[in-house]
Amino acid sequence: MAKFIPLSIPNFEGNEKKYVDEALEQGWVSTGGAYITKLEDKMAEFLHTEKVAACQSGTAALHLSLVEAGVKPGDVVIVPALTFIAAVNPVKYQFATPVFMDCDDSLCMDPVKLKKFCEEECAFTDGMLTYKGQVVRAVIVVHVFGNMADMVSILETARQYNIKVIEDATEALGSYYTDGPLAGKYAGTIGDFGAFSFNGNKIITTGGGGAVTASDLKVVEHLRYLSTQAKNDPHYYIHDEIGYNYRMTNLQAALGVAQMEELSVFICRKQENYELYRQHFEGFELGTLSSFRKGTFSNKWFYSLEINRDKITASMRDIISSLEKQGVQTRAIWGLINEQLPYRNDAAYEMEKAPYYAERILNIPCSTQITKEEIEIAANEIKNVLRGYAYE
Ligand SMILES: *Cc1c(COP(=O)(O)O)cnc(C)c1O
């Protein structure tokens, strides 16, 4: 068998070992230490925002955002159906109720349906939006695979109906608007809250980790407070609120600072590699490489191929396992969250594109250190396998 080409693996070409060693030598391994603030400062600078709070995971960042947005038991939170389940689980941690929204052709939340849902299915009285008698408190918007959602429309609807916007930018660190009223604004710095992840497969990693930001600086301070057990001061055990053990550790942050130093290079490689794939798949009739929203710059974290279902009926499982045998690791897009066991009783609004794309999107190898030759091999194997499944 030829060399195995993985879907997405971390890349440690920089100062990772040096910084982690330093943290170990200094004994700062836990939730205190200079690397944590250093990482926060670097991120804030990169995102052109004032403040960021580093935390344990993207999931923790989302959970803290919901807490801070005032999401309480019985509230409604509008969420995407087609995304990673970590974007939605924190809604249940708050004993709130998700309402699943369809995606548009960008794979991100459909802004037209979101507006229509608020207009036609909800009531708006005294500045409060309710759905079946429950307060609609927030909407979670995911920038899928680094492609930015239509934030202009979504923000407009959210402001009109007084609901908080939580951006799940876990996949979109480095994506930003280039045109329109949001030009220059980075994913995660547009809504009321922005969540980031540094899990192993994200564009940069701290092993596990995340960060959260908010449009209001005092809110970022408070998020940090909540993430450190809501400890009022360093020395006396006074706690005025229920806190969480969600703070990032200095060991993770040491890794993160080294990764932040390389982020621009990684984003650059993602662009170049996407362009290579684009050339390989140009004119290919059985699959189309997905593109990114006009008027934005995407970090191009993940590349996806839309399988032409008019010509190929083989299951994703069969396609993926055939490719695996050829040494090319691919993955299907997620299963719809509203169809997962814990979510089957929750409302899903006019699902149409999410199920459509759920059976068509295949993610293909996209590590930053993938070579030109490996991209060619991967593209050819993918084409061969799909041709093998196609019928005329
Ligand atoms: C990775 C990811 C998360 C969760 O991040 P963790 O750091 O793994 O907790 C949430 N939402 C989306 C869309 C993700 O891709």
Tell how far the Cα of 286 is from the centroid of ligand 1, in angstroms: 30
Q: Is 171 in the pocket of ligand 1 (CB under 6 A)?
A: yes
Q: Is 142 in the pocket of ligand 1 (CB under 6 A)?
A: yes
Q: Is 168 in the pocket of ligand 1 (CB under 6 A)?
A: yes
**Residue 133: is it exposed, middle or buried by C-beta count within 10 angstroms (0-12/13-18/19+)?**
exposed
Q: Whose CA is nearest to atom 11 of ligand 1?
A: 87
Amino acid present at 269: R
Tell how far the Cα of 239 is from the centroid of ligand 1, in angstroms: 29
Tell how far the Cα of 10 is from the centroid of ligand 1, in angstroms: 15
Q: Is 147 in the pocket of ligand 1 (CB under 6 A)?
A: no
* Among 225, 206, 165, 164, CA closest to 57: 206
* Among 339, 299, 305, CA closest to 319: 305
Best of 55, 79, 84, 144 for a ligand 1 pocket test (most atoms within 8 Å of beta carbon)? 84
Tell me the pLDDT of the chain (392 aa) as tens digits. Answer: 568 999 999 999 999 999 999 999 999 999 999 999 999 999 999 999 999 999 999 999 999 999 999 999 999 999 999 999 999 999 999 999 999 999 999 999 999 999 999 999 999 999 999 999 999 999 999 999 999 999 999 999 999 999 999 999 999 999 999 999 999 999 999 999 999 999 999 999 999 999 999 999 999 999 999 999 999 988 899 999 999 999 999 999 999 999 999 999 999 999 999 999 999 999 999 999 999 999 999 999 999 999 999 999 999 999 999 999 999 999 999 999 999 999 999 999 999 999 999 999 999 999 999 999 999 999 999 999 999 999 87
Q: Do 121 and 349 touch, CB atoms closer than 8 A?
A: yes
Tell how far the Cα of 169 is from the centroid of ligand 1, in angstroms: 9
Q: Is 167 in the pocket of ligand 1 (CB under 6 A)?
A: no
* Among 296, 294, 287, CA closest to 364: 287
Tell how far the Cα of 207 is from the centroid of ligand 1, in angstroms: 13
The radius of gyration computed from the CA coordinates of the chain, to the nearest angstrom, equals: 21
Ligand 1 atom nearest the C-alpha of 60 is: 9
- Residue 114's H or E segment, with its range, is helix 111-116
Tell how far the Cα of 86 is from the centroid of ligand 1, in angstroms: 6
* Among 213, 151, 214, CA closest to 182: 151
Amino acid present at 200: G
Ligand 1 atom nearest the C-alpha of 57 is: 7
Ligand 1 atom nearest the C-alpha of 62 is: 10
Ligand 1 atom nearest the C-alpha of 144 is: 13
Strand partners, 305: 289, 362
CA distances from 121 to 92, 115, 129, 136, 276 (A): 22, 10, 10, 11, 45
Q: Do 167 and 190 touch, CB atoms closer than 8 A?
A: yes
Torsion over CA of 249, 251, 254 and 259, rounded to 10 degrees?
Answer: -90
Ligand 1 atom nearest the C-alpha of 202 is: 1
pLDDT of the residue at 110: 98
